[in-house]
Amino acid sequence: MQEKKQTAMNRRNFLRAFGGASTTAVAAVTLSPGEAQAYDPGEEETRARYRETEHVKAFYRVNGYETLKK
Amino acid sequence: MARMKFLCDADRCIECNACVTACKNEHDVPWGINRRRVVTINDGKPGERSVSMACMHCTDAPCAAVCPVDCFYTTADAVVLHSKDLCIGCGYCFYACPFGAPQYPRVGNFGSRGKMDKCTFCAAGPEEDSTEIEYAKYGANRLAEGKLPLCAEMCSTKSLLAGDGEIIAAIYKERVTQRGYGSGAWGWQTAYRETINV
């Protein structure tokens, strides 16, 4: 009986110790969050793709045929 | 630096919806999504007016302001794009957008809507230019090919203008100076008689 009681105590001690350790770990994680990271596209993503090619110039010329031909 | 803008000359739009069709075809846009649409007011009545609408690539974009995952970014040529890898499909941008530009592939709440899809000014997204993965997510990258959005390029009445804001503004300004605006524009009296005031 004495031996069984000892086993039970050990288990409880283990759980208590384990639970306490887990709580501490969670608290540590909660208390020290990392900085929020906003999406920061690089220069390659945000660089200008537009170029005034012959194709684009033709579009402006055709659309401004009434006005820009002068 | 040129700033990309759309401008729809409502006096010229004939509601043919070719811009809508061209966009869907060029970018292989899935069923249920229209990146561009034609809105008509006073439909069937004198003074009917149509305007082709899509994302207007706002300078201070409200979609970007409300996005909880901050997936929007503006390129150096003022095109508002977004990352579908980050988008969670929450729908906030749809509520914020004054033009109804953001679209979702599925019906549902929160993430079940799928990734948001919108007009990219034919500039695709953050992936490497003109790659298959970029095409699958965002469609064609015509700007990188030295072209302009297809909707504007193939507009039969030259109503939809796209490109450098200063140049298309100059084209429109000259048009208005020459023809007048609204009921003063040439063609209106012929089509609707002189008694029609718009």
Tell me: the pLDDT tens digits for B89-101?
999 999 999 999 9
Give the C-alpha separation, B142 to B163, whole Å.
12
Amino acid, single-letter form, for residue B96: A
Give the C-alpha separation, B148 to B135, whole Å.
16
- Choose, out of B7, B129, B148, B157, the residue to mutate when testing the contact with A (most A CBs < 10 Å): B148
User: For position B179, what pLDDT does the model report?
Assistant: 76
B4-192 placed in CATH 3.40.50.12280: no
Residues of A (7-36) whose Cβ lies below 8 Å from B: none
Cβ contacts from A onto B, under 8 A: 79
Contact at CB, A63 and B161, closer than 8 angstroms: yes
Cite the beta strand spans of chain B per DSSP E: 4-8, 37-41, 49-53, 72-74, 80-82, 160-164
Give the C-alpha separation, B97 to B66, whole Å.
10
C-alpha angle with apex B181: B179 to B187, nearest 5 degrees? 55
Give the C-alpha separation, B155 to B16, whole Å.
9
Contact at CB, B4 and A46, closer than 8 angstroms: no
Task: For chain A, say whether B159 makes contact (Cβ under 8 Å).
Answer: no
User: For position B32, what pLDDT does the model report?
Assistant: 83
A12-21, B36-45, B99-108: which range is least confident on average?
A12-21
CA distance A7 to chain B (A): 49
**A64: pLDDT confidence band, cut at 50, 70 and 90?**
confident
ipTM score of complex: 0.87
Give the C-alpha separation, B132 to B113, whole Å.
24
Q: What is the mean pLDDT of chain B?
A: 89
Which pTM value belongs to this model? 0.78
Give the torsion through C-alpha atoms of B151, B118, B4, B98, to 10 deg. 110
Contact at CB, A60 and B76, closer than 8 angstroms: no
Contact at CB, B146 and A45, closer than 8 angstroms: no
Whether B116 and B93 have beta carbons less than 8 Å apart is answered as yes
Contact at CB, B75 and A51, closer than 8 angstroms: no
Task: For chain B, say whether A37 makes contact (Cβ under 8 Å).
Answer: no
Ordered DSSP codes for A21-63: HHHHHHHHHHHSPPPP------HHHHS------HHHHHHHHHH
User: For position A26, what pLDDT does the model report?
Assistant: 55
Q: Phi, psi (5° rounding) for residue B29? A: -70, 130
